């Protein structure tokens, strides 16, 4: 689990493009990245200002 190949990422990207649309895709990707980073920091016990 967690090992995604190029073909899987391409399929996910195409589906995201169809569902979200090309104009909102960068905004949604940015928000998802920030959420993942916040989750990882929370799991490590870091605060918002720790880097």
Helix (H) or strand (E) holding 6: helix 6-20
pLDDT of residue 47: 63
pLDDT of residue 6: 92
Helix (H) or strand (E) holding 31: helix 25-44
Task: Work out whether the CA dihedral 40, 45, 46, 51 comes out positive or negative.
Answer: negative
Give the separation between CA 3 and CA 27, rounded to whole angstroms: 25
Give the separation between CA 49 and CA 10, rounded to whole angstroms: 34
pLDDT of residue 46: 72
Express each pLDDT in 9-49 by its tens digit.
899 889 989 999 989 989 998 999 999 999 999 998 876 65
pTM: 0.60
């Amino acid at each position: 689990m967690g090992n995604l190949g190029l073909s899987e990422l391409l399929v996910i990207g195409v589906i995201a493009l169809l569902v979200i649309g090309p104009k909102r895709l960068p905004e949604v990707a940015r928000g998802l990245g920030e959420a993942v980073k916040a989750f990882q920091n929370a799991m490590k016990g870091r605060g918002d200002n720790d880097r």
